[in-house]
Structures are given as structure tokens and as C-alpha cells.
Amino acid sequence: MKCSNVLVVLATFVITSAAWAQTSKVIGSKHDINSQGCKGCHASHDGASATGGSNAASGKILLWDRDFSTQTFGVYDSPSMQNKAAEIGGATPLQNTDARMNSLLCMSCHDGVTTPNLTANTGPTGSVSVGNPANSFGLQNDHPVNMSHDPTKNAQLTPVATVTGGGLTLYGSANTVQCSSCHTTHDPTNGSFLRKANTNSALCTTCHL
Ligand code: HEC
Ligand code: HEC
Ligand code: HEC
Ligand code: HEC
């Protein structure tokens, strides 16, 4: 092959790989777990039983390929909380219409129980996972999830339209905050899989005055 032909082939390869990377930013990110790509979270068929789990029904929810934990995580609460958070875990089977889906799916890995070796922060006594009930108070010491974003109950909250217009997502008819309100599993562009960069606390102030 002539040198110029090799260059054309190379250039075509570079262009097509760039276009491919653009359409699935999850590839090559920390969520491209063991380079499994989409399969790390979604199974084309048979839910969790496709990947050695026991619950084929998990596939009814976004083709999820993992068993759902029945762990309870507790909730953050304080006297100044006006929109109270509700438990996301427990034995009640998850439905694909539940707003809490957008938090509980994360906990199929980030609970520190089902995937004990998945840790995110390093504390003084070793690593902790966001939702680990054993070493990190479950979700009691995390930004609350599974509560309404309702400015009529708390005047320090921005209007719902400011939140959704500002690039964040609220779930269900009650406009609840879930993990995926702030995070987007598929896209690492803003760091920490955030929906928007938190420069000058821009993420926080999309919701809090
Ligand atoms: C680390 C886990 C993970 C990986 C890997 C992953 N997803 Fe997802 N996916 C999710 C979660 C969680 C949701 C639910 C939306 C949310 O809460 O962020 C979702 C939602 C979806 C949806 C439905 C809603 C939407 O956002 O369009 C589609 C389609 C989808 N994923 C396709 C893919 C494809 C294709 C890949 C591979 C290129 C992929 N996912 C890789 C976790 C993952
Ligand atoms: C299939 C398992 C799995 C699921 C489901 C999953 N994650 Fe992850 N997540 C991981 C792994 C593995 C890492 C990398 C941990 C590391 O490198 O220390 C990670 C890392 C992260 C990080 C840190 C990224 C960084 O740049 O440091 C964030 C934030 C995160 N996940 C949020 C979420 C959220 C929010 C959800 C649900 C919408 C979710 N994850 C669902 C497995 C998962
Ligand atoms: C109100 C917004 C918000 C919500 C809701 C939220 N996060 Fe985060 N999360 C953040 C921000 C901001 C960071 C980056 C923190 C930093 O850089 O110090 C982060 C960081 C993380 C990390 C990286 C490691 C760490 O511990 O800092 C993980 C993992 C994570 N979030 C998972 C979750 C899960 C799982 C949920 C739902 C239970 C969730 N997040 C809900 C805003 C949020
Ligand atoms: C998607 C919207 C949203 C985002 C983004 C968000 N919050 Fe919140 N946050 C809420 C809601 C809703 C509450 C519940 C407040 C209430 O009703 O009293 C809350 C509660 C809190 C509380 C507990 C208040 C109390 O009375 O105990 C703190 C502290 C807090 N948020 C800080 C932050 C910080 C810091 C950030 C940025 C990393 C952030 N929030 C991002 C919606 C959000």
C-alpha cells in the first residue's frame, strides 16, 4: 500500500473512532466497567439471570442486569428539612414507573454491600461507599434523595422551571430529587458524572437560593 493510502485509511479510522466516542461517552469512562460497555449495566435479554444473578424480572427495568438489593439505607433528615426524604430501599419490588428507580439503580453498585470492593472515598479508617450502611451511615449522611423539590414548602428553593431549565432533572409527578437529578450515568464530561459542572457552586445554586 502506498504511503498516502495508509494515511487515508488512518485518517478515516481516527474520524470514525471520534464520531463513535461522541455517541457513547460512557465508553472509556469509569462506568465502562472492565471494558464491558453497556453490558456492565444493561442485559439485552433475561435481566440479572443473564449475568449470573437470580432475578430475571430486573430486566423489566431498563433491561437491568443485576439483582436489586432489599437493603434499607435510611434517609437524611434535620429540623430545617421541609421536603422530607423517603427510603429508597427495602423489600417492595421496584417498578419501572417508580421515581426512586433513578436512585436505587445506582445502589446496585454504590451501596458497598452488593459490590463490597466498590469504594469511592478514602476515610481515616479506610474506604467508604456512598450508601454503605456498615461504614457510612447508609444515605443518612448524604445529600437527601427521594423528596420533592417544592419551593412552596421551602422558600429557599428555586422554582421547578429553574431546575429543569438549568439542566437538572426532577422525577415523577411529585418532582422528586434522585441521584440522577445531579448525576448522569453515561457521561463523565463534567467530572463525577455530574449533569453540570459545579464551578462556583453552579450545580447547588440551580436548586438552592
Ligand atoms: C454504569 C451503568 C450503566 C452503563 C455502563 C450504561 N448505562 Fe444506560 N442507564 C444506566 C442508568 C442508571 C440509566 C437510568 C437513567 C438514569 O437514572 O441516569 C440508564 C438509562 C439508559 C437508557 C434509557 C434512558 C435514556 O437515558 O435514554 C438507555 C437507552 C441506555 N441507558 C442505554 C445505554 C447504552 C446504549 C449503554 C452503552 C453505550 C449504556 N446505557 C451504558 C446505567 C448504565
Ligand atoms: C454496574 C455498577 C455501577 C452502577 C450501576 C453505577 N456505578 Fe457509578 N461507578 C461504578 C464503578 C466501578 C466506578 C469507579 C469506581 C472507582 O474507580 O473507584 C463508579 C464511579 C462513579 C462515580 C465517580 C466518578 C469519578 O470520576 O470519580 C460517580 C460519581 C458515580 N459512579 C455515580 C453513579 C451514579 C449516580 C449511578 C446511578 C445513576 C451509578 N454511579 C451507577 C459502578 C457503578
Ligand atoms: C444534590 C446533588 C447530588 C445528588 C442528589 C447526588 N450526588 Fe453524588 N455527587 C454530587 C457532587 C457535587 C459530587 C462531587 C463531589 C466532589 O467533587 O467533592 C458527587 C460525587 C459522587 C460520587 C463520587 C465519590 C464521592 O463520594 O464523592 C459518587 C460515587 C456519587 N456522587 C454517587 C451518588 C449516588 C449513588 C447518589 C444517590 C444516592 C448521589 N450521588 C446523589 C452531587 C450529588
Ligand atoms: C436538584 C435540586 C438540588 C440540587 C442540585 C442540590 N440540592 Fe440540596 N436540596 C434540595 C432539596 C429539594 C432539599 C430539601 C430542602 C427542604 O425541603 O428543606 C435539599 C436539601 C439540602 C440540604 C439539607 C438542608 C436541611 O435543612 O437540612 C443541604 C445542606 C443541601 N441540600 C445542600 C446542597 C448542596 C451543597 C448542593 C450542591 C452540591 C445541593 N444541595 C444541590 C435540592 C437540591
pLDDT digits (tens, 9 = 90+) for 170-182: 999 999 999 999 9
Quickly list H helices, the chain. 3-23, 101-110, 160-165, 179-182, 202-207
Task: Give 3-state DSSP helix, strand, coil % of the chain, rounded to 5.
Answer: 30, 10, 60
Q: Does residue 30 have its Cβ closer than 6 Å to ligand 2?
A: yes
Q: If you average pLDDT over residues 33-47, what whole number do you get?
A: 92
Label residue 50 exposed, middle or buried (CB < 10 Å: 0-12, 13-18, 19+): middle
Cell numbers at residue 33, please? Answer: 466497567
Contact between 91 and 103 under an 8 Å Cβ cutoff? The reply is no
- Assess if residue 4 is contained within a domain: no
- Assess if residue 46 is contained within a domain: no
Which residue CA neighbors atom 43 of ligand 4 most closely? 207
Flag whether pLDDT at 147 surpasses 60: yes
- Ligand 3: distance of its center to the CA of 97 in Å? 23
- Ligand 3: distance of its center to the CA of 168 in Å? 14
- Ligand 3: distance of its center to the CA of 129 in Å? 11
Flag whether pLDDT at 116 surpasses 80: no
pLDDT of res. 111 = 81
pLDDT of res. 115 = 64
Which residue CA neighbors atom 23 of ligand 1 most closely? 62
Contact between 167 and 90 under an 8 Å Cβ cutoff? The reply is no
Phi, psi at 115, each rounded to 5°: -125, 75
Label residue 55 exposed, middle or buried (CB < 10 Å: 0-12, 13-18, 19+): middle
Q: Give, for ligand 2, the residue of 66, 109, 122 to mutate: max count of ligand atoms closer than 8 Å to Cβ.
A: 109
pLDDT of res. 6 = 47
Q: How far is CA 136 from the centre of its chain?
A: 18
- Assess if residue 26 is contained within a domain: no
pLDDT of res. 169 = 98
pLDDT of res. 176 = 98
Contact between 48 and 64 under an 8 Å Cβ cutoff? The reply is yes
Flag whether pLDDT at 139 surpasses 90: yes
User: What percent of the chain shows pLDDT beyond 90?
Assistant: 65
Nearest ligand 1 atom, CA 106 = 12
Contact between 147 and 179 under an 8 Å Cβ cutoff? The reply is no
- Tell me the three state secondary structure of residue 177: strand
Phi, psi at 182, each rounded to 5°: -100, -30
- Assess if residue 139 is contained within a domain: yes
**Overall domain count for the chain:** 1
Q: Give, for ligand 1, the residue of 20, 27, 30, 62 to mutate: max count of ligand atoms closer than 8 Å to Cβ.
A: 62
Which residue CA neighbors atom 3 of ligand 1 most closely? 41
pLDDT tens per residue across span 13-22? 444 444 444 5
What is the value of pTM for the model shown? 0.92
- Ligand 1: distance of its center to the CA of 20 in Å? 16
Helix then strand count (H, E) for the chain reads 5, 4
Flag whether pLDDT at 5 surpasses 60: no
- Ligand 4: distance of its center to the CA of 47 in Å? 34
Domain hosting residue 140, numbered range: 68-207
- Assess if residue 135 is contained within a domain: yes
Long-range contacts of 56-60 (CB under 8 A, 24+ apart): 57/93, 60/96
pLDDT tens per residue across span 55-78? 999 999 999 998 888 889 999 999
Contact between 42 and 62 under an 8 Å Cβ cutoff? The reply is yes
- Assess if residue 49 is contained within a domain: no
Flag whether pLDDT at 110 surpasses 80: yes
Q: If you average pLDDT over residues 181-202, what whole number do you get?
A: 96
Q: Please state, rounded to an integer, the average pLDDT across all residues of the chain.
A: 86
pLDDT of res. 11 = 47
- Assess if residue 42 is contained within a domain: no
Q: Does residue 157 have its Cβ closer than 6 Å to ligand 2?
A: no
Q: If you average pLDDT over residues 118-144, what whole number do you get?
A: 75
- Assess if residue 60 is contained within a domain: no
Rounded to an integer, what distance in angstroms lies between the CA atom of residue 63 and that of residue 141? 30
